[in-house]
Amino acid sequence: MNLLLFNLATDYDDPILGFATGWVNALARLYDQVFVITMRAGRVCVTPNVTVYSVGKEKGYSEVRRVFEFYRILVKILRQQRIDACFSHMIPVFTVLAAPLLRVRRIPLITWYAHRQLTTTLKLAHHLSDRMVSINENSYPYKKDKLVCTGHGIDTELFCPDGTMPDDPPLLLSVGRLSPIKNLEVLIDAVEILHKKGLRLQCVLVGDAPEHDRKYADALKERVQAKGLEGTIRFVGAVSNRDVVLWYRRCTAHINCAPANNAVDKAVLEAMACGKPSFTSAQSFSETIGRWAEILIFRERNAEDLAQKIEILLGMDTQNQMVMVTDLREAVLAMHSLKELGEKMAMLFCGHAVV
């Protein structure tokens, strides 16, 4: 079987979308050939049975030219190859553009979308797709009639423990873009509370700010300075997937301060896959975190509650901490692994139900 795959970015070094290369390679294990049409390409690291075509955003092509390139590439593939299924990953505009040609050829079209933003393009993609796929119902902002929930697709071979000892003093880690929705001021305030209590710790924020959020990032850095925490809290910028793993392994705990109703953030699951506790306000993690929810889920935008729960974790004995992180990694393996996602997607393309 051959798979056609649409992708927002195919760049192994991309700090945000680099994980998509792992998705492509995981799906490639299940198909004879995979043909990728991507909005933007960077360093391409795919298996030999994968061919990647870019519509040229990295070359500065205009939107009109990118549409032309998309159709030129798509028609070429459909003429020269037998395509059995199409998977559109986080790029509903490609779903909309391709749907008429795919429908004529009776090629099943499945679109993955996991974001709170609801657009007209997404609504069109929903109606034109055979199935919509997302992490869970909270991660998909439109109708649920075509929705299949598959978990997040974490590369648990990459994100795994390797015996690295956590830093001393304990390292609190936050991975993700520096944007207002991440509520990172809550983390800074929680660190201040713990610092005033005399706890030895350090905090690292891995991630950069989109251009429109630069003022927010600057405000965070000013907040750190105003509280006299420059020696405790560091901003290290964006790093690649393979490098962020090293940060997960070095930390004592990962912290995500996004809203309680937020979609499942993959950074929380990546940390758990690396054998690390991950604090969050998002109730969507309750099932994955399981019996440790009372410790790891804190009240939204409540620095005092977060600080209290971090203090409880730091005071836990080694045996209980080991039981916790083992439970968390096993939950990610069972509910959110890339291997499981690939197999569920293959079943969908074959017309089987996904449990």
Q: Please, what are the averages of pLDDT over each run of 10 residues along the chain (355 residues)?
A: 96 89 91 97 96 97 98 98 95 98 95 92 97 90 93 93 94 96 97 97 96 97 97 95 94 94 85 98 90 96 98 96 97 92 82 46
Please state, in angstroms and rounded to a whole number, the distance separating the CA atoms of residues 190 and 309: 10
Please state, in angstroms and rounded to a whole number, the distance separating the CA atoms of residues 291 and 287: 9
249 shares its domain with 179: yes
149 shares its domain with 201: no
User: In this predicted structure, what is the pLDDT of residue 263?
Assistant: 67
148 shares its domain with 39: yes
237 shares its domain with 216: yes
Please state, in angstroms and rounded to a whole number, the distance separating the CA atoms of residues 99 and 36: 16
Evaluated on CA atoms 51, 56, 58, 64, the torsion sign reads negative
In the chain, which ranges are continuous DSSP H helix? 19-28, 63-80, 92-104, 120-128, 184-196, 214-226, 241-250, 266-273, 286-289, 293-296, 303-315, 318-335, 338-349
Number of domains in the chain: 2
Is position 12 within any domain? Answer: yes
Please state, in angstroms and rounded to a whole number, the distance separating the CA atoms of residues 178 and 175: 9
Place of tokens 């927010």: 216
Q: Do residues 4 and 94 lie in contact, with contact meaning Cβ atoms separated by under 8 Å?
A: no
125 shares its domain with 228: no
User: In this predicted structure, what is the pLDDT of residue 212?
Assistant: 95
142 shares its domain with 176: no
User: In this predicted structure, what is the pLDDT of residue 247?
Assistant: 97
pTM over 0.85: yes
Residue 51 pairs in a beta bridge with 35
Q: 8 φ, ψ to 5°?
A: -70, -45
Q: 55 φ, ψ to 5°?
A: -85, -5
- Token digits for 5? 């795959």
Strand 233-237's sheet: what is its strand order?
Answer: 233-237, 202-206, 171-175, 253-256, 278-280
Residue 33 pairs in a beta bridge with 2
Please state, in angstroms and rounded to a whole number, the distance separating the CA atoms of residues 346 and 309: 41
122 shares its domain with 242: no
Is position 69 within any domain? Answer: yes
28 shares its domain with 98: yes
175 shares its domain with 133: no
Is position 158 within any domain? Answer: no
Q: Do residues 36 and 24 lie in contact, with contact meaning Cβ atoms separated by under 8 Å?
A: yes
Please state, in angstroms and rounded to a whole number, the distance separating the CA atoms of residues 260 and 299: 8
329 shares its domain with 341: no
CATH assignment of the domain containing 33 = 3.40.50.2000
Q: What does the pLDDT look like over 240-267, one tens digit per residue?
A: 888 999 999 999 999 999 987 776 789 9
- Token digits for 307? 């600080």
Please state, in angstroms and rounded to a whole number, the distance separating the CA atoms of residues 232 and 228: 9
Please state, in angstroms and rounded to a whole number, the distance separating the CA atoms of residues 325 and 331: 10
Cβ burial, residue 212 (10 Å; 0-12/13-18/19+): exposed
144 shares its domain with 226: no
Strand 131-134's sheet: what is its strand order?
Answer: 50-54, 33-41, 2-10, 85-89, 109-112, 131-134, 147-149
Cβ burial, residue 105 (10 Å; 0-12/13-18/19+): exposed
DSSP-derived 3-state class of residue 219: helix
Residue numbers of the domain that contains 187: 171-335
